[in-house]
A and B are shown apart, each in its own frame.
Chain A
Amino acid sequence: MELIFPTIAGILSGVVAGLIPGIGITALMISVGLFFVADSPLVVLAYYIGLLCASQYVGSMLAISFGLPGESSSLPAVKEGYPLFQQGKGSLAIGTTAISSFFGSFISMALFFAILPVAEYLVYIWNTNMLVIIFSVAMLLTFYISDNKLWVSLIMTAIGVNLGMVGINMTIGTDYLTFDQWWLYSGLPMIPVLMGCFVLPELWKAQFEERAETKEIKFQLDIKDNLKHSRASWGVITVHSVVGFFCGLVPALTTKLASNLSYFLQKSKEVRYNNYTGPGNLKSLIAAETSNNAATFSVLLPLLFLGIPITTSEFILYDHIQDTTTGLNLEYILNNFDILLACFVATNVICLALAWPMANTCLAVYRLPARTMYLVTAFLVLFPIIYTGLLEEQLLFYVGTFILCSVIGMIFRRYDTMPIVFVFLISREFIEGFHRFYVINVL
């Protein structure tokens, strides 16, 4: 019962994250997520599950209806769904996407139980050699899947590493760019860096560069037709649930890799069989969205079972969980796994209702006055910086870091700045991993 409120709050936050580009789950996890740090990690986990699932369901609606990717994983939905909407098939695209996403989540869950007998071997992901390989592959994939040219991504990587390595690193014994100032010993605070380097440029892009023409959105519910098309794509849903499940385990890339890889694979197949006649291919859209939602389940597994956060928002979730009195441990997760599964199932049922029969209601949010939307957005960006700065008694440091990172973010506003924040977040782990690799294998 205690999880009903955080789950619903998570779903509502996810609706906001899905409907307002730039206010992604990372920003909401930083701000609203703070209020769900309680004695039990289940509370903040329930909030996160609601947030994660709802943002994926609702983000698809936004991408299909407005041609606006709420999340980077919604790019295929923009490429194939928005043309369907323009062809007058928006209701079909939204309906079948919601249904396939729903089944994708459940197939992913079933797949987890299928591999449970060998799950103990997942501990070998902790092996330093394995971690070095995973992080290296993730870095390379980030370069290739990001929308940037390679040289831009390399510059961003250098910036991310330098921001991430500020402070004293006790594990490898370095003291980097602290200028003997104690407030820099613990490194740059995460929230101002993420807000400045990532959220701000994304908002800028959404408001000034990629804003689609606003139009009246009307969704016609046709259950029979939507189910018929979903049934016809059963094979696509099954295959891409599997693809999504495994992509969800890839650190940092997760849903972004899942939707884009599935889209690429399905589109190649459609082209090969002469079924692809141009943008607006329903099966390619279904593949991407199914995969995306399948990944939302598997993405949680490394964190829950191995204590390894693999996305930006999970780093924050991990931080929040560590702030609870119980902390994150395997025994606790195993004892409460049935509750978490129930939470995941309930969330998906509610999200299906929101993204399908209630799609019209969700999209009505866009009838809010633009001025109110700006105020809400500004509040969601500034509040976590000021709140955490005050909490840490380092407001000036937090604001200063935000200003510095905002400058960096705005310089790169025309690019995908995800590599900066991704590298910032993993640079310590990455360099510590390489250092351990060197000590173990070379020294």
Chain B
Amino acid sequence: MKRILTMAIAMVAIATTTASAIELVIPAGNKGGIYTISKHLNAELAKIGVETNMDVQGSCPKGMAKFRSTDKPSIYIASSAKNSSHTFVKGCDFTEAAFEEQYVAPAFMAVMALCTPKKGVKFSDLKGQGWKTYTIGTDASRAWAAQANMEAAGLKVKTVNYKNSSAARAGMMAGDVDFFWSNAKEAPKVADAGGECILATSADDFNGVPGMKSVTGVDPIGGSNIYWVAARNMDAAQLKSIKAAVEQVVTSEATQEWAKSKWFLTINGKSAADLKAEAKDYVTVFTVDR
């Protein structure tokens, strides 16, 4: 009964605020990176007077369908990794034209990591066994990056796709694959299970995980999964205003603290043009057939 009453009150509250608020379409369920970021933005934007209604759509295709069909002013948190394969992207992709038209601002970045089931594995030892093909467990959206980066670093690899990162991590611990490739935030869970993340696709060390260049001597390829804000149904003034608000939120001190705790990289100190170009790479360069 309490839940029914809560839901009813929430619905009335949403109905009364809809007129002025911006729709924040969430192309995911209520967990994962996109939801976490959306929830944070929703709360922080409210503090500076920008009201948004969170609309959790459950999946990327549903979220994108809603974003494309709504006639209300809307924003949408896009993950560049969603554009990483033609199959993965179906129904939730940005074409180059849509990207140019709807891109507002970068929000955060997440880096990937290569993890092993045991501690003490050295990358140089792996490279020494050139005859061997290593297996890497990963979720489908990161498979291309796992393969591209490890081949660039000189390893022969084949990727094994899992439903999600948790399943891939469990698969590695159960002896399915040699390595696990995922968001670097999985590092503590891997460590708890007795493993170790041996490199991250960041320029420098990231929360104690060594940067890829320092380990392999090679720069990461498409190593940052950029979360950026897209907008629709807004005039120029509204766009300018929401861009400023998002930038204010993502560069604030509170957000820096929050991002660190959630293993996100913030955009502070990086050029907006560079970040846009990197996000666009996922639309024009990194989208591959799988």
Contact = CB atoms under 8 A, between A and B. Distances in A.
Partners in one complex: yes
Interface of A: 35-36, 38, 123-128, 130, 168, 170-175, 182-183, 185-186, 306-307, 322-323, 325, 327, 331, 392-393, 432, 435-436, 439-440, 443
A436 B160 contact: yes
B31 A327 contact: yes
29 contacts: A36-B3, A123-B170, A123-B174, A126-B167, A126-B171, A127-B174, A127-B175, A128-B176, A130-B174, A168-B61, A170-B141, A173-B87, A182-B62, A182-B64, A183-B62, A185-B61, A185-B91, A306-B170, A323-B29, A323-B30, A393-B66, A432-B161, A432-B162, A436-B161, A436-B162, A439-B158, A439-B160, A439-B161, A440-B177
B59 interface: yes
Interface of B: 3-4, 29-31, 58-59, 61-62, 64-66, 85, 87-88, 90-91, 135, 139-141, 158, 160-163, 166-167, 170-171, 173-177, 192, 290
A430 to B, nearest CB: 12
Nearest to A185: B61
A384 to B, nearest CB: 15
A185 B176 contact: no
A167 to B, nearest CB: 9
Contacts of A170: 85, 87-88, 140-141, 161
A323 B141 CA distance: 22
Contact of B4 (A35, A185, A325): A35
Contacts of A325: 30
A182 B61 contact: yes
A440 B157 CA distance: 11
Contact of B65 (A35, A182, A435, A436): A182
A29 to B, nearest CB: 16
Given A185-B59, A436-B162, A440-B135, A124 B175 contact: yes
A435 B290 CA distance: 14
Contact of A175 (B58, B87, B158, B163): B87
Those 6 A-B pairs whose CB atoms lie nearest each other, nearest first: A126-B174, A127-B174, A185-B61, A170-B140, A126-B170, A173-B87
Given A35-B3, A182-B91, A171 B163 contact: yes
Contacts of B175: 124, 127
Nearest to B135: A440
Given A170-B87, A182-B62, A392-B58, 19 more contacts: A123-B174, A125-B174, A127-B171, A130-B174, A170-B161, A171-B139, A171-B140, A173-B85, A173-B87, A175-B90, A182-B64, A186-B62, A323-B30, A327-B31, A392-B62, A393-B66, A436-B160, A436-B176, A439-B161
B4 A440 contact: no
Nearest to A443: B158
A398 to B, nearest CB: 13
B176 A127 contact: yes
Contacts of B59: 185-186
A130 B66 CA distance: 40
Nearest to A122: B174
Contacts of B29: 322-323
Contacts of A174: 87
B31 to A, nearest CB: 6
- Which one of B85, B135, B171 has the highest number of Cβ atoms from chain A below 10 Å of its Cβ? B171
A393 B173 CA distance: 39
B67 to A, nearest CB: 11
A168 B90 contact: yes
A375 to B, nearest CB: 20
A35 B3 CA distance: 6
A439 B159 CA distance: 8
B271 to A, nearest CB: 33
Contact of B290 (A36, A173, A307, A436): A173
A35 B91 CA distance: 31
Contact of B61 (A125, A128, A186, A432): A186
A127 B137 CA distance: 12
Contacts of B87: 168, 170, 173-175
Contacts of B65: 182-183
Contacts of A38: 3
Nearest to B90: A168
Nearest to A38: B3
Nearest to B4: A35
Given A392-B58, A436-B161, A123 B290 contact: no
A440 B61 contact: no
A124 B174 CA distance: 5
Contact of A432 (B30, B158, B163): B163
Contacts of B176: 126-128, 436, 440
